[in-house]
Structure 1
Amino acid sequence: MIEFDHVSKYYGKKQVLKDLNFTIPDGKFVTVIGPSGCGKTTTLRTINRLTDIDQGSVRIDGVNIMDRDKVELRRSIGYVIQQIGLFPNMTVAENISVVPRLLKYDKARCEKIVDDMLAMVHMEEFRDKYPSEMSGGQQQRIGVLRALAASPEIILMDEPFSALDPMTRASLQEEFKNLQQKLNKTIVFVTHDMDEALKLADTIIFMVDGKVVQIASPEEMLDHPATDLVRSFLGKHIRDQAAPTKVEDYMLRNVRKITQNRGVHECAEMMARYSVDTLLVEESRGGKYMGIVSIGDLRKYGRTLKTIEPIVRDTQRTARVGDEAKESFDYLIDSGAGYVVVLDEKDRIAGIVTKTSVARSVAENLWGDEQ
């Protein structure tokens, strides 16, 4: 359990954290969300003492973290950041085992940890690869495994998926939520993205100007936002919008796609170049949508194939340009899927709709192009 008791932090005369009081129970997934500069990353960094507080206390399992050695504390807490931070001169196995080796685990134990971690995400064949040989999504998976390697009870995550493309991001979110539930770890996850908060969290902590303004489950926060800012930031008005809206109003048009007659190697190179784990597939003649191809299928079947066509899967939900957005959005919420593929009148790929793209479009309608 993590307890914040009247925590404040100053940078010079500026108070960036203002009397924070809350508790994070064991085994829960908690997202900290709010506008830029609200103090969410500073709050996260106080837990492992990357930032020391000026007033109050932070306790883990009843022990004041100021009474613990900084290095020992940080080695006992997983930490994942947006920049991934893999060591480029180390293999995947060496990166994953960094903390276990620092903790003086013997070689056999370290190797078993690496094998077990990679097996959890079906990436055993990447054991001896270097970060430069992997896509952004694959690197971030290894970053998460490294944070889990010493079996910490707490993992801190600072916008770890924000630099990834929408499809890879949605896939990683789903994988990580399943992993957290399986391992029962306590996750503190900073984001500025309401989509991530709604999709991942058991509890959302909403911060504004260094203060906590609401702590609630996603459902409670959507139904009973504490302030107008919480209401608009979380997009509650999406539920209340009466005017019909079309999927094309909310879709992302710049998506990565490939034709079905392309080779496996070319497909893999494209995934690596754009740091994606999935590509949309279209016919080489006419451009009709065929389905998706994933990095997992390339790894599993790619060596026996000349082209990607046999491993194209038509399993993704689709919508049509002109369809009401609500149907696609309801599907995304109810199913937990990452995206819906939008097709034009000739069955060609027009774009994709994600919960994030819906939220971003609504925000732009509210505030225009303000930064």
Structure 2
Amino acid sequence: MWDARKIQSFRQTLLDWYDREKRDLPWRRTKDPYKIWVSEIMLQQTQVITVIPYYERFLDWFPTVEKLAEAPEETLLKAWEGLGYYSRVRNMQTAAQQIMTDFKGQFPSDYDSILKLKGIGPYTAGAIASIAFGLPQPAVDGNVMRVMARLFEVDYDIGDPKNRKIFQALMEILIDPERPGDFNQALMDLGTDIEAAKNPRPHESPVRAFSAAYLNGTMAKYPIKLPKKKPRPLRLQAFIIRNAQGDFLLEKNNQNRLLGGFWSFPLIESSTIGQQLDLFEKKDAVILKTASQKELFQKEYGIKAHWSKQTFKTVKHTFSHQKWEIELVEGRLQNQQPSSERQLKWVAEKDFTAYPFATPQKKMLEAYCHQKK
């Protein structure tokens, strides 16, 4: 590790660069821990340019911890619609309720208390503690680990959670105690741009003189990151059913399943005949071993549709663990109503904006409407 003089020189060099080059972002104009928290959760695996309008709308709808704690589920999901990873916003609401109950509505101001909030891990707790409260707590995310790996030629996989403690220890030594929030944000900016995972520009790095990888010509080797497991492919059929009035049949997903709380066209897995997608599967579901998907749908939903012969473009969507290919199937009903315990509703297209739709549903709707024009 470096001596005290070199550490201080590194801090000063990094912060001088940050003062010149830092991006003007909405969450950098405040020390409000609630607003910083919202931004940090949104920025996880989402680009800054995408987050800004979501951030501004979210704070407009839920300007305080109390408003977030009391928000109806569908309003909450609508505010997050399109960002993905919906467990995050559910965890945020649980954490907001914790703040109302355990901290009398005041955001906790020490690291350990922040870390106890639902959905907040060491990185987010460190970011809030350092930026909002000026505490010398590192905020170690993938960007920071990438920079650290190159600075010290760290021969450990940054994708392995157990190796995070190595980078945490480095940051605890390096972090500037006078400006910890700016120090963390400077490393984040450096890691997302000049020292990005793809197409880095190491010759432009303000800290290249400190970087062992740069000085030794090993930038291409670091960071070490082993490939992730590929998402499992899954084939599905989406049933686009309309009644005599032209309304669409929508189903609200089970709370405890993937995309819980969102509305979509009914979906059934088609990669194995008669096996339902886990997203909607019920313990008492009737499995028809030799049935077609249409027969299974009619059995499960208690309706007998008149099927269209029109074909539609396959819809594709990739989650971290699954890669969906969705075939659209169109059907019509006259006066028959579904006889099912599922949470179903007939909804006119003009009213879709009132319902939270996850990205796969938006893609299905777009593909359907495009070919029906």
* Pairwise TM-score range, normalised by the shorter structure: under 0.3
Greater relative contact order: 1 or 2 (C-alpha under 8 angstroms, separation 6 or more)? 1
TM-score (norm 1): 0.24
Structure with the higher fraction of residues in strand conformation: 1
TM-score (norm 2): 0.24
Larger Rg: 2
Structure with the higher fraction of residues in helix conformation: 2
